[in-house]
Amino acid sequence: MSEFSEKLKAERKRLHISQRGFNKVFGIPAMTVWSWENEKRAPPEWAARLLIEKLESMEPLKKQRKKED
**pTM of the model as a whole:** 0.80
Q: Which CATH class is domain 3-56?
A: mainly alpha
Dihedral of CA 30/26/63/3: which sign? positive
Rounded Cα distance between 48 and 61, Å, is: 21
Domains in the chain: boundaries: 3-56
| Residue 62, pLDDT score | 73
pLDDT score recorded for residue 63: 64
DSSP 17: -
Residue-wise pLDDT tens digits, 30-69: 999 999 999 999 999 999 999 999 999 999 877 654 555 4
